[in-house]
Chains A and B, each alone.
Chain A
């Protein structure tokens, strides 16, 4: 085909340009699906310690995305000493394998949140979200007091089914549930059951009482439950310091 034919024909030009530029992306992305060590295996006593979110945490994550937290907070600790000292162990690929979409982010106006879970008390999170400057004077984060409103959870099952379509192992049938018990242990498997999503959400909110108000389930409950889970699924004390370098 002559150069002139391509240059003078918009259809050919668009089609061939797409093919050429996609090669760059494909050669970098496609092999990662076939390379064994891309996603680390993180098992303790035969169980996967990284598991999908419970229904309450999932709603918290939805709110995290709705409010655009990712525009100012990353969830990706890179393997550099300064980041490790400030935030903790570098993030593993496995830690975001159930995230759709992932929340790595690319801009840190606020600090990285990949390991914020259990770092501060629930009370601190609630107060900080309502009025950040009451605890961190120099903060420029907006106030999120409006999250103290009832959480909507009526389409919970569909939200979980949607994630199931892209490979998150929420369970609906008995077999799927049994497989989760085998993979994650019974406590976690119960939380991944779509058919009991709503009662699980209410039970977790009641037990955790994340927002300090036991009477109702608020968006604050969900968001704090999610934040308190971030980065806590892997107990790095159970692995050798150099263990995860073997996957690279």
Chain B
């Protein structure tokens, strides 16, 4: 170090700390200096082109840098450069790029889209993303749902109807499913009997005489027929489940190994009831998005 300090060609700032620590006073490298000037010039150009300086209660809006955008309601606006206008332009470009397809989606019936390879491919790929963002949190990425909470969309059982129009209605307006709690309204014995009957409907080998007593409870004391129907096949207008198939949406019967365990899960639902809510999406998603989602959800089930 001591030899460098004594180099005669380089000036020092002239002061010394702790007696001998000195500071070189090299000139700035030219490349650095010119880069610095260039950034200053860039800034000045930028001030003219983009919103920059505050003036009173407003600011300079920039010049020669306008954005013209058309919103989906057909209004065209030209404005100074700003990120919101830029965003609207970006949305417009995407809308126009997809317009050809979206127009056909809007103009076609569900059946027409589903049977057309190109239209359906477009609808499914758009809907898949919308599904992942909005639906998958409950119905899961693949649509298999969570038993006890969120219906499985892959099977062929539909609480509120599986036609295009019913699915569309469910998505747009949401659904409120409510199975009342029968605790207190039915005795333990009645609950047990009606559970035997319910399980017998889907072919479980239950105590026949208990199931027979249960049928009476199902029809009379419990009044289950009001929603689930005399045949136990459910009613879509109430979102009441079909009890005669082997598909379960609240009670995890399929996951229970023994008859006793099956009875326990069904009894728990009879006793405690279950309220479920499907949110309404019509304010969050566009009509076209809902239409494409409907097709997608319908396909999830139909492809099984």
Contact with B along A117-143 (1 / 0, CB 8 A): 011111110011000001111100000
The verdict on A241 contacting B73 (CB below 8 Å), with A86-B133, A119-B284, A123-B277 known, is yes
B77/A81 in contact, CB under 8 A: no
Interface: A248 (CB within 8 A) = yes
Interface: A167 (CB within 8 A) = no
Interface: B71 (CB within 8 A) = yes
CA of A85 to CA of B75, assembled, Å:
21
Name A120's closest neighbour in chain B (CB-CB): B137
Interface: A67 (CB within 8 A) = no
CA of A245 to CA of B134, assembled, Å:
26
Interface: A64 (CB within 8 A) = no
Instruction: Point out the residue from A8, A81, A247 that lies within 8 Å of B94, measured CB to CB.
Output: A81
A35/B57 in contact, CB under 8 A: yes
A36/B57 in contact, CB under 8 A: yes
CA of A237 to CA of B129, assembled, Å:
23
Name B81's closest neighbour in chain A (CB-CB): A248
Interface: A242 (CB within 8 A) = yes
**What's the A-B contact tally at a CB cutoff of 8 Å?**
99
A127/B149 in contact, CB under 8 A: yes
A241/B72 in contact, CB under 8 A: yes
A240/B75 in contact, CB under 8 A: yes
Instruction: Point out the residue from B59, B72, B73, B283 that lies within 8 Å of A35, measured CB to CB.
Output: B59
Contact with A along B60-101 (1 / 0, CB 8 A): 000000000101110101010011111110110010000000
Interface: A34 (CB within 8 A) = yes
Nearest Cβ distance between residue B88 and chain A, in whole angstroms? 6
The verdict on A241 contacting B15 (CB below 8 Å), with A34-B54, A120-B138 known, is no
Instruction: Point out the residue from B84, B138, B283 that lies within 8 Å of A135, measured CB to CB.
Output: B138
Q: How large is the interface on B (under 10, 10 to 19, 20 to 34, 35 or more residues)?
A: 35 or more
CA of A235 to CA of B283, assembled, Å:
9
User: What count of chain A residues pass the 8 Å CB interface test?
Assistant: 39
Nearest Cβ distance between residue A139 and chain B, in whole angstroms? 10
B284/A245 in contact, CB under 8 A: no
Interface: A153 (CB within 8 A) = no
Name B132's closest neighbour in chain A (CB-CB): A86
Interface: B279 (CB within 8 A) = yes
CA of A127 to CA of B146, assembled, Å:
11
Name A246's closest neighbour in chain B (CB-CB): B79
Name A28's closest neighbour in chain B (CB-CB): B54
Q: Output the residue of A31, A84, A90 with the most chain B CB within 10 A.
A: A31
Nearest Cβ distance between residue A194 and chain B, in whole angstroms? 32
> In the complex, what residues of B have CB within 8 A of residue A246's CB?
79
Q: Output the residue of B56, B88, B137, B278 with the most chain A CB within 10 A.
A: B137
Instruction: Point out the residue from B59, B88, B90, B91 that lies within 8 Å of A31, measured CB to CB.
Output: B59
Nearest Cβ distance between residue B68 and chain A, in whole angstroms? 11
A245/B79 in contact, CB under 8 A: yes
The verdict on A34 contacting B56 (CB below 8 Å), with A90-B84, A241-B88, A245-B77 known, is yes
Instruction: Point out the residue from B56, B149, B284 that lies within 8 Å of A88, measured CB to CB.
Output: B284
Give chain A interface residues in 209-248, CB to chain B under 8 Å. Answer: 235, 237, 240-242, 244-248
A79/B86 in contact, CB under 8 A: yes
CA of A8 to CA of B75, assembled, Å:
64
> In the complex, what residues of A have CB within 8 A of residue B246's CB?
none
Interface: B276 (CB within 8 A) = yes
A245/B58 in contact, CB under 8 A: no
> In the complex, what residues of B have CB within 8 A of residue A34's CB?
54, 56-57
Q: Output the residue of A34, A79, A90, A123 with the most chain B CB within 10 A.
A: A79
A119/B84 in contact, CB under 8 A: no
CA of A108 to CA of B124, assembled, Å:
28
Interface: A4 (CB within 8 A) = yes
Instruction: Point out the residue from A80, A88, A118 that lies within 8 Å of B87, measured CB to CB.
Output: A80
CA of A34 to CA of B279, assembled, Å:
42
Name B289's closest neighbour in chain A (CB-CB): A85
Interface: B140 (CB within 8 A) = yes
Cross-chain pairs A/B with CB under 8 angstroms, 29 sampled: A35-B57, A35-B58, A79-B84, A80-B90, A81-B91, A81-B94, A84-B87, A85-B129, A85-B133, A88-B284, A90-B87, A120-B138, A120-B279, A121-B279, A123-B276, A124-B137, A128-B137, A135-B146, A136-B136, A136-B137, A137-B141, A240-B73, A241-B71, A241-B88, A242-B75, A242-B77, A244-B84, A245-B84, A248-B82
Q: Knowing that A121-B138, A242-B77 are A-B contacts, what are 15 other residue pairs whose CB atoms are under 8 Å apart, sorted by A's residue number? A: A34-B56, A85-B133, A88-B284, A119-B279, A121-B276, A122-B277, A123-B149, A123-B276, A124-B149, A135-B146, A136-B136, A235-B283, A241-B71, A241-B72, A242-B71
Closest 5 CB pairs between A and B? A31-B54, A79-B87, A241-B71, A248-B82, A245-B84
Q: Which residues of B contact A (CB under 8 A)?
A: 15, 51, 54, 56-59, 69, 71-73, 75, 77, 79, 82-88, 90-91, 94, 129, 133-134, 136-138, 140-141, 146, 149-150, 276-279, 283-284
